[in-house]
Amino acid sequence: MLCSLIMKTKIKYELIYKIICVIFCYAMAFFTSPTTWQDREITKPKSHTKKDPVFSAKLIAPEFSQKKNHVSSITALDEKRQMCVWYAGSEEGAADVEIYAAIKEDGVWSSPQSILDLSTSSTELQRYIRKVGNAVVFKDANNVLWLFYCTVPIGGWSMARTNYRYSHDNGKTWSKSKELLLNPFLSLSNNVKNKPLLFADGSFLLPLYQEFINKYGLVLWGKLHEGEFKYMVRRISHKYKCLQPTLVHRQNRTIDAYCRNRDKGQMLHMESSDLGISWSAVNEGNLPNPNSGFDMLHIAAQEYVGIINYSPKERDNLVVVHTQNAGKKWNVLHYLENPIPKEQDERFKAIGKMGHYYQYPAIIEQEGNYHLTYTCFNKIKYTTFNSAWLNKKLQEVTKQ
């Protein structure tokens, strides 16, 4: 009996020790960093010459028309090439869903190539995975290509975990996937959707979100430092309805964050005056939001362009919006997709959820050219326009 008691006591203390070690590891992930949070400078866009207005649109991977394609992200690989990533499979959340990448060169998109599937992710992370989902790709100021993506071990998207990979050769080879340690509770219920703000030292501020019970935004400041990814995490909202933040640099050290509103109605907004360390209270912005994802981009001080569903209830349109005063007033510049009565559109027969047909845009700027992708009736559509086209649209709106 004495031996049995000793063994039980030993097991008990070993369990307590392991729990303390796990919490310590998570704490270290939060608070170890290569430099201080304040010691940063946001990267500045390169200057560009004016050209004639340019606008074009096409589908990426039309050969994937039988797959459900969703949640795209786009980045510049170099001066002439862009990469788009998204997930596709027989159904959202199905076991055959994989993350694909396509590269645009000389105006032509390559055939999509799988860069991650369920089996590979499970092997690299050394745990069971039920499904893979949202992926975000970007390149930092040190030319490291990053892929952040979510996996779900059980349940739905509210149980997601966020993981990362990186590449030093534009995606020809990747590091093994690693999981972000975002909380001491198995890092459950953390997801990713939008690109980060980039800093000149190679670090970045990546927006994340949590959606199990409480729904709020997070920012992760991270950097690859001596072969190890160092990062810190901050919560940016405390209301229970903020999802999928998009970050826009206003000017100096001020950042605006716009969030998807889980309750529909108006887009949610908050701001930081110290590059993301502390944040204001959440308030309603001046744009509608039908509980849908969107993206925005800094053009100049207080000047932004956004790609949104311009409706408080439906995702039946996709619009280019623009502000010159940090969101106090927005102008609708152009309808990328117009609402079409459902009974007149044959495409409705091919989608499962009515009303969710233009969604999850992503936009980047590269030397005066804007590249955006979005989900269009279960396909990925690519649109590009230049600053001359944007200025022309702005002049047209101003004259009205």
Q: Is residue 221 part of a domain?
A: yes
Segments forming the whole domain that contains residue 200 = 33-399
pTM of the model: 0.89
Residue 345, domain member (yes or no): yes
CA distance 376 to 225: 38
In sequence order, the 6+-apart residues with CB closer than 8 A to the CB of 379 are 59, 60, 61, 62, 64, 65, 69
Task: Report yes or no on 180 lying in a domain.
Answer: yes
Give me the DSSP letters along 127-174: S--SEEEEEEEEE-TTS-EEEEEEEESSSSGGG-EEEEEEESSTTSS-
Q: Does residue 74 form part of some domain?
A: yes
- Token pair in block for residue 394: 């702005």
Q: Is residue 260 part of a domain?
A: yes
Number of domains into which the chain is organized: 1
* In a domain? residue 6: no
Per-residue pLDDT at 355 = 42
Residue 395 lies in a domain: yes
CATH of the domain at 52: 2.120.10.10
Full pLDDT tens readout for the chain, 400 residues: 444 544 444 444 444 444 444 444 444 444 444 456 666 778 766 655 568 999 999 999 999 988 999 999 999 999 999 999 999 999 998 999 999 999 999 999 999 999 999 999 999 999 999 999 999 999 999 999 999 999 999 888 888 999 999 999 999 999 999 999 987 666 778 999 999 999 999 999 999 999 887 889 999 999 999 999 999 999 998 767 899 999 999 999 999 999 999 998 999 999 999 999 999 999 999 999 999 999 999 999 999 999 999 999 999 999 999 999 999 999 999 999 998 766 666 665 555 554 468 999 999 999 999 999 999 989 999 999 999 999 999 999 988 7
Residue 38, pLDDT score: 64
Residue 79 lies in a domain: yes
